[in-house]
Amino acid sequence: MLQRGIAWGLAAAGALAAGTAARAAMTASGKEPIYLGVRACAACHRGPEMGHQFSLWRLSAHARAYAALAKPEAKRIALLSGVPEEPQKSRLCLGCHATAADTEEWERDDGFRIQDGLQCEACHGPGSEYATAKVMRDPKLAMANGLRMPEKDDCMMCHRTKGSHEATLKKKPFDLEKAWRMIAHPIPRKKKPGSEKAKSEPKSAKFQFVGVMACAKCHQGPMGKYCFSRWRAGPHAQAYAVLAAPKAREIAAQQGLAGDPQRIGKCLECHTTGYGYPESAFKKSFDRREGVQCEACHGPGSGYAYKAVMEDPLAAKEGGLRKPTEQTCLRCHEGAHGMAFDVKEAWRKLTAPLDAASAGVEPEPKYKTPLNMCFTPDGRELWVACEASRSVVIVDPRARRKLAEIEVGGQPTDVCFDPAGKRAFVSNRLDDTVSVVDVASRKVVATIQVGDEPHGVLVDRQGKYLYVLDTSIDRISVFDLKTLKEVKRLAASRNPWSLAISPDGKRIFVSNALSRFVKFRTPAMSEITVVDTERAVVTDRFVAPAANLLQGIAWHPSGRYAVFTLNRTKNLVPMTRLLQGWTITNGIGIVWADGRIDQVLLDWPNICFPDPADVTITPDGKYALVTSSGSDRVAVVDLNKLIEMLEKATPYERERVFPNHLGLPTEFVKTFLPTGKSPQGIACDPQGNFAFTANSRDDTLTVIDLRKMKSAGTVDLGGPKEISRIRYGEQLFHSAEITFHREFSCHTCHPDGHIDGMTYDIEPDGIGMSPVDNRTLRGIYDTAPFKWEGTNPTLSRQCGPRLAVFFTRIQPFTPTELSALDYYIAAIPRPPNRYRKLGAPLTPAQRRGKAMFERIYTNDGRLIPKEKRCTTCHPPPLYTDGRRHDVGTKGRLDREGRFDAPHLNNIYDSAPYLHDGRAPTLEEIWTIYNPYDQHGITNDMTKDQLNDLIEYLKTL
Amino acid sequence: MRGRYSKPFGQAALAAALAAAVWGGEAPASRPARAKEALGLPYVYTKWEHFTKKDGLPNEHIFAVKVDGPRVWVGTEDGLACYDKRTGKFRVWKEKDGLPWRVVSAIDVDPKTGDVWLGMFGGGLARFSAGRFDHYHQLNSGLVNDVVYGVAVEHDNVWAATTAGASRYDTVRDKWTIFTEKNAPMEEIWNYGVCYNDGLVYLGIWGSGVLEYNVATGRWKDYVDPDGEMEIDLYRDDGIVHVITTGVSYVDKILWVTTYFGACRYDGRHWRGYYQHECGLPSDFNNFVKGRSANEAWFCTDKGLGVLADFPTDTWVKYVTDGDRHDGYAFVQRGTNVVAKVHTGFNLSHNYVLCVDFDGDDAWIGTSEGLCRAIGEGITPGCVRRVKKRTQAAPE
């Protein structure tokens, strides 16, 4: 027997850390507990004797947590959390809206259902080792077997303030005390006498009841119109549970019915499904406690609840499927409990489509966001990769109109053709694929899996190999075009971005957006990687010193050199120097065929050329056209003048003076031409008559007449004309209007909302104190507070006054702008984890690493203090507790030793690490920078254990 | 020293020279030939080229050599060198040039990417790709230990034999795996040598014999000395000759193994042990082995270079040098029987031989006092009847 007075109940909260710690304790003892599901708990924790604990939970929001993810609001929240997938398929959402969603299949019992939302074991730990009456009678034994009793603070792991939820739901702040009272589920001190079992006249049925979960197999998710989740979130699903409420007892008493309503036949007739039928009428899968289920109205399902039957209406009818009518509702609702019932309104609600508009959630327009372009080899068509619309738009460059649009994969980024112009290849950055498109039929004929976040694509002149830049893993994948099989991966530098093939077809130059890792507080060193097309190997690596964000690249028709875009970020000087006009400078580089590199700026003293994104060279070789996505312009560079200037200069001038000279551009920039918003890619037609810029933030192309060197109109790609708040924020994010002399935009330091790999000195001291690593913006909205020192509680503060004081040095964003900017930053999609898909089994190394992450004992059996455990500061699903901790990393330049615990989602792609970026790899966090076990107890780990831990961290 | 050939012999003169050496030269002419000589004779390298610091090597303690098309990569005690056969010049990288660690103890080349992988004694592993060194060590990567003795490229993986186990680095997925006694039949974890060929990775382990890893199945197989750790072979050819293994080489389905107590050959069914006292192996103290075929392997010992030139006939060529006098000999031997002694002139740079790699007909040999190249011209594997007047001469 349970000891009375002990609050054994299921103190439900989002304490996932509790679950992991419980499992860790059990694993340490050699047991591998698994999750049983709420029904296993309900076997005992139900009925009046146990305070109707199951029903209390069933009526709580925790039980509806999974179903809530089907709501339009959830989609909005997901959008503002940077979650590109369905909320019910997102590990991040499920981390708080379900139980054990991130576990492997073997860790869940057959009876476990993720659809049950936040269940008992979310807080009390997986139950297989303690959920027996024998164990549970002895609290100490139960605890020893993994039962956890969560503390109030554990709730905050999920119920912490999250920007995405606040902005969408507009609820009052979470009141922990109130919530704790609400979810209290004590066992009554006095055992209540059991009521007699409900009796009724037995009914008979031709078919058996199969239960709602059988229906849910098909009727869930977007394909099933979220039917299951809608039912689950509604009152029918709670019909049985409400009978446990005091009000139910009151109503029963008023009707002269004594006892527990959950045992009164008259109540159960309308509050459950199939009441009155003999036991033989129910399949094992049926659970009466699910309340009024599908079969209450549609009839017992054993004859029709199969996909093949349901696809044939006649067969389904034969199988017993009933079509409910208003009369069906009225059987229970008419005059029930003396309450009025509007059957038409109820019917409407029950059958209304679940769309964003009906939920009052503003739907987000589907923009195009054109990024890069390529002409077909015959020059007749211009193909434009559109990131937001998952499509390639085909444009007639002569008629300047859109011809067609082809759906490809997620975040199309670049496009190229084979030499014959028969096939096009589109890189899909979100999906890690390349779509192969048959040009004649304009159909995707194949989709090939490539490395992580493919960006640039290019086919060699012989049509032998396709080169794909796997941007986030620093590789160049080489595919055999005949077989479409990957033959090798070459090592690029960091974030390979664009490719250009030499006029003789022998070499490919690859620009790399991020600098190589350099020693702490030393200038950047970026690389142009050279690929020999005959052997498909890297033969040279040319270094552009002090430059970063090498993006667009194009060969001169002479084959003497190529031109690439670059930034020269002075991250070693205080950002307060901005007023001196020399913090982030922008320009181009000339990489000569022999590997020499010249750098010149395109900034003018009082107006800069922010975010140079792409470059093209006119077929006659006279001009290079460079886009500035931060200032909506194209710079027309007179190459003859530029090359002449360089050739006349001394080596000292070329190496030391020109790269930083703001006065030079007037000598070789012929003109600046206006474009649409945030031009990215640029391409010249083969005849050299016109150039086109892909204006990523207004879904147009700007046409440039190359003979007159003037803007000559636009091409509308057909995106929505309305500007949503997110789109407005996106435009602001990519615009340098907000900075002094238009030196840079938000995008400059956070390209694609991610990182530029640099460490900055952004404090106002001006003497180099507190340098900080640049952090990713992907998924940042829910990880308050912000800044490494955690001093900014909201994004608005981070991007508002603080930005103006420390970065932009002119007037801050207006409240409207700030709100839009916040929305956009929140919506920057975070790529899916490349090391583990949701539900995929862990590799053995990852599984061992998980045990290390969750461990509570050292290798020699010492208990690890709670504050030194990984899961304490990095609890799932965000893997940050949002608090500051001193992990022993205070450096000589730091004024503060406590830093915000960063989230660990996709941690593998945001090197370097620690607050000042001193650790280029995850390993170094512990092998070098944790000598005294202040950053968790790690020094007892063997090398293979540390490797395992890192393998697991990559899956988060 | 480059271009300092030991003898100005061309290949055309080799047969005559060899004949003179064997039958008309230093060998007694009156002794009758034995039946074995009817089997023919192996090729003997008489043309050698030597390289020292004067020729551009950064250091003369040569730990690794790897032929890569027109290049020969050389790992030394103080730097990496690359010999360009087209120009005849060395290019050198030391720590000041970006080489992550001074001692380069192992080299392999990825045939797909052309990247050069360096094992560094105390410095971990490095990828040298088109002039850029990427450094992987035990503090910044999953490499198990920085003392790397051997390195081998297997498909997209790079294996490193280290003093604390073997590491496998998946260059495509950026993933490290450690193999130690925890997950492999590795009684000791001091990995000395590693090689890959034909779906199998072999690890030579100091004190634990040889481990075979099947890439397709992920399964291990261990080969240890049935005589335990005894330094004598109680039953010959019953297995690997000793568990203190220093080198492994797998070619044409044949595994060649060296230990500090002899060497052996394994064809998947039968073992064959080799000891100094019964064959042409210069010493039982073997540093390294490289198989050229199922029938030919080169053994690097502390007392010279032993070449098992023809397995079926147990024919060896033992090269030893008198480095001080810039002179040397090759002894052609069948079992214990020396069938010929060939004066080659200066052959090995030093008798302490540490590494070897093949380059068509040539071979590059690293010693403790420089690098040398054995130049072969029109060689024929195995033993061939090279001289008609066979009966006129007798071996020593």
Q: What is the pLDDT of residues A419-467, one digit of tens each?
A: 999 999 999 999 999 999 999 999 999 999 999 999 999 999 999 999 9
Look at residue A355 in the predicted model and tell me its pLDDT. Answer: 65
> Which is higher by pLDDT, A600 or A13?
A600
A172-181, A942-951, B276-285, B300-309 — which is least confidently predicted? A172-181
- A738 and A882 share a domain? no
- A51 and A139 share a domain? yes
**Residue B173, min C-alpha distance to chain A (Å):** 8
Buried b (16+ CB within 10 A) or exposed e, A228-267: bbbbbbbebbbbbbbbbbeebbebbeeeeeebbbbbbeeb
Q: Would you list the DSSP string of A65-122?
A: HHHHTTSHHHHHHHHHTT--S-GGG-HHHHHHHSSSTTS-GGGB-TT--GGG-S-HHH
- A28 and A139 share a domain? yes
* Residues paired with B118 in a beta bridge: B107, B126
Look at residue A460 in the predicted model and tell me its pLDDT. Answer: 97
- Contact by Cβ (8 Å): A98, A118: yes
pLDDT of residue A145 exceeding 50, the answer is yes
Within 10 Å of residue A511's Cβ, how many Cβ atoms? 31
- Please give the average per-residue pLDDT across B17-35, as a whole number: 38
Cβ–Cβ of A541/B132 closer than 8 Å? Answer: yes
A951 interaction partners in chain B (CB closer than 8 Å): 175
CA–CA separation, A369 vs A367, rounded Å? 6
The confidence band for B18, taking pLDDT boundaries of 50, 70 and 90, is very low
Look at residue A256 in the predicted model and tell me its pLDDT. Answer: 87
**Residue B144, min C-alpha distance to chain A (Å):** 6
- Please give the average per-residue pLDDT across A142-169, as a whole number: 88
pTM comes to 0.87
Of B127, B140, B172, the CB nearest to A489: B172
Look at residue A197 in the predicted model and tell me its pLDDT. Answer: 58
Nearest residue on chain B to A493, alpha-carbon basis: B132
Q: What is the pLDDT of residues A217-264, one digit of tens each?
A: 899 888 788 888 889 888 999 999 999 988 898 898 888 888 889 989
Within 10 Å of residue A31's Cβ, how many Cβ atoms? 14
The confidence band for A575, taking pLDDT boundaries of 50, 70 and 90, is confident
Task: Indicate whether A691 belongs to any domain.
Answer: no
- A56 and A189 share a domain? yes
- Please give the average per-residue pLDDT across A37-54, as a whole number: 90
**Residue B366, min C-alpha distance to chain A (Å):** 27
A921 interaction partners in chain B (CB closer than 8 Å): 140-141
Q: What is the pLDDT of residues B199-233, one digit of tens each?
A: 999 999 999 999 999 999 999 999 998 887 777 77
**Residue A845, min C-alpha distance to chain B (Å):** 8
Task: Indicate whether A862 belongs to any domain.
Answer: yes
Look at residue A581 in the predicted model and tell me its pLDDT. Answer: 61
Cβ–Cβ of A540/B130 closer than 8 Å? Answer: yes
- A735 and A802 share a domain? yes
**Residue B122, min C-alpha distance to chain A (Å):** 16
Using the 3D structure, point to which of A777, A801, A827 is the last residue of a domain.
Answer: A827
- Contact by Cβ (8 Å): A553, A561: no
- Output the domain CATH number for residue A889: 1.10.760.10
Using the 3D structure, point to which of A160, A194, A228 is the last residue of a domain.
Answer: A194
B132 interaction partners in chain A (CB closer than 8 Å): 493, 516, 527, 541
**Residue A926, min C-alpha distance to chain B (Å):** 8
Q: Let me know how long chain B is.
A: 396
Helices (H), ranges, A804-932: 815-827, 844-854, 870-873, 922-927
Task: Indicate whether A444 belongs to any domain.
Answer: no
Residues spanned by the domain of A936: 844-953
Cβ–Cβ of B132/A924 closer than 8 Å? Answer: no
Look at residue A11 in the predicted model and tell me its pLDDT. Answer: 38
Cβ–Cβ of A943/B164 closer than 8 Å? Answer: yes
CA–CA separation, B194 vs A402, rounded Å? 59
Q: Which of B82, B129, B143, B145 should be substituted to probe chain A, the one whose Cβ sees the most A Cβ atoms within 10 Å? A: B129
Task: Indicate whether A83 belongs to any domain.
Answer: yes
Best CA proximity match to A955, nearest among A933, A929, A931, A922: A922
Task: Indicate whether A710 belongs to any domain.
Answer: no
> Which is higher by pLDDT, A551 or B379?
A551
Look at residue A27 in the predicted model and tell me its pLDDT. Answer: 58
Q: What is the pLDDT of residues A790-808, one digit of tens each?
A: 888 888 887 887 777 777 7
Look at residue A12 in the predicted model and tell me its pLDDT. Answer: 36
- A86 and A158 share a domain? yes
Q: What is the largest CA-CA distance in chain A?
A: 106
> Which is higher by pLDDT, A173 or B146?
B146
Backbone angles phi, psi at A567, to 5 degrees: -115, 150
> Which is higher by pLDDT, B33 or A107?
A107
Spell out the residues 6+ positions from residue A438 whose beta carbon is closer than 8 angstroms to its own: A422, A423, A444, A445
**Residue B264, min C-alpha distance to chain A (Å):** 33
**Sequence-ordered strand ranges (E) for A502-621:** 507-514, 525-532, 537-545, 553-555, 561-569, 584-592, 597-601, 612-617
Look at residue A607 in the predicted model and tell me its pLDDT. Answer: 85
pLDDT of residue B108 exceeding 70, the answer is yes
Of B112, B114, B139, the CB nearest to A928: B139
- The pair of structure tokens assigned to A951 is 């393998």
- A898 and A933 share a domain? yes
B112 interaction partners in chain A (CB closer than 8 Å): 487-488
Look at residue B16 in the predicted model and tell me its pLDDT. Answer: 42
The confidence band for A593, taking pLDDT boundaries of 50, 70 and 90, is very high
Task: Indicate whether A679 belongs to any domain.
Answer: no
Look at residue A901 in the predicted model and tell me its pLDDT. Answer: 94
Name the average pLDDT for chain A: 90
pLDDT of residue A640 exceeding 60, the answer is yes
Q: How many CB pairs under 8 A join A and B?
A: 71
Using the 3D structure, point to which of A827, A855, A872 is the last residue of a domain.
Answer: A827
Look at residue A651 in the predicted model and tell me its pLDDT. Answer: 96
State yes or no: cis peptide before A912, omega within 30 of 0: yes
Look at residue B393 in the predicted model and tell me its pLDDT. Answer: 34
Q: Which of B110, B112, B127 should be substituted to probe chain A, the one whose Cβ sees the most A Cβ atoms within 10 Å? A: B112
Nearest residue on chain A to B169, alpha-carbon basis: A947
- Please give the average per-residue pLDDT across B33-41, as a whole number: 57
- A817 and A932 share a domain? no
- Contact by Cβ (8 Å): B241, B264: yes
B138 interaction partners in chain A (CB closer than 8 Å): 927, 943
B131 interaction partners in chain A (CB closer than 8 Å): 540-541
A950 interaction partners in chain B (CB closer than 8 Å): 142
User: Rounded to whole angstroms, what are the CA distances from A900 to A603, A784, A883, A935, A944?
Assistant: 36, 9, 6, 13, 28
- Please give the average per-residue pLDDT across A729-740, as a whole number: 92
The confidence band for A698, taking pLDDT boundaries of 50, 70 and 90, is very high
A927 interaction partners in chain B (CB closer than 8 Å): 138-140
What single-letter DSSP state applies at residue A776?
Answer: P
- Please give the average per-residue pLDDT across A512-536, as a whole number: 95
A179-188, A584-593, B70-79, B277-286 — which is least confidently predicted? A179-188
- Please give the average per-residue pLDDT across B155-170, as a whole number: 97
Share of chain A above pLDDT 70, in %: 94
Overall domain count for chain A = 3
Of B113, B142, B164, the CB nearest to A947: B142
- Please give the average per-residue pLDDT across A191-216, as a whole number: 73
Task: Indicate whether A934 belongs to any domain.
Answer: yes
Task: Indicate whether A433 belongs to any domain.
Answer: no
Look at residue A739 in the predicted model and tell me its pLDDT. Answer: 87
The confidence band for A47, taking pLDDT boundaries of 50, 70 and 90, is confident
The confidence band for A643, taking pLDDT boundaries of 50, 70 and 90, is very high
A110-114, A344-348, A479-483, B299-303 — which is least confidently predicted? A344-348
The confidence band for B294, taking pLDDT boundaries of 50, 70 and 90, is very high
- A818 and A901 share a domain? no
pLDDT of residue B392 exceeding 50, the answer is no
Q: Any idea which residue has 């924790």 for tokens? A: A45
CA–CA separation, A460 vs A502, rounded Å? 10
CA–CA separation, A496 vs A537, rounded Å? 15
Cβ–Cβ of A537/B113 closer than 8 Å? Answer: yes
Look at residue B24 in the predicted model and tell me its pLDDT. Answer: 35
CA–CA separation, A519 vs A505, rounded Å? 36
A487 interaction partners in chain B (CB closer than 8 Å): 112
Q: ipTM value, please give it.
A: 0.85
Q: What is the pLDDT of residues A383-419, one digit of tens each?
A: 999 999 999 999 999 999 999 999 999 999 999 999 9
B177 interaction partners in chain A (CB closer than 8 Å): 845, 947
Cβ–Cβ of A491/B175 closer than 8 Å? Answer: no
Cβ–Cβ of A538/B130 closer than 8 Å? Answer: yes
Cβ–Cβ of A538/B182 closer than 8 Å? Answer: no
- A790 and A917 share a domain? no
**Residue B129, min C-alpha distance to chain A (Å):** 7
Look at residue A32 in the predicted model and tell me its pLDDT. Answer: 84
Q: Would you list the DSSP string of A14-72?
A: --HHHHHHHHHHHHHTT----B--HHHHHTTS-TGGGTTHHHHHHHSTTTTHHHHTTSH
pLDDT of residue A84 exceeding 90, the answer is no
Q: Any idea which residue has 């020699």 for tokens? A: A860
Backbone angles phi, psi at A613, to 5 degrees: -110, -40
A119-133, A184-198, B246-260 — which is least confidently predicted? A184-198
Name the average pLDDT for chain B: 89
- A29 and A59 share a domain? yes
Q: Any idea which residue has 């054109």 for tokens? A: A370
Q: What is the pLDDT of residues A809-830, one digit of tens each?
A: 778 889 999 999 999 999 998 8
Cβ–Cβ of A927/B139 closer than 8 Å? Answer: yes
Look at residue A726 in the predicted model and tell me its pLDDT. Answer: 94
Q: Which of A510, A528, A947, A952 should be substituted to probe chain B, the one whose Cβ sees the most B Cβ atoms within 10 Å? A: A947
- A852 and A742 share a domain? no
pLDDT of residue B38 exceeding 90, the answer is no
- Contact by Cβ (8 Å): A490, A537: yes
- The pair of structure tokens assigned to A15 is 């304490």
Spell out the residues 6+ positions from residue A673 whose beta carbon is closer than 8 angstroms to its own: A633, A634, A636, A702, A704, A709, A710, A711
**Residue B145, min C-alpha distance to chain A (Å):** 9
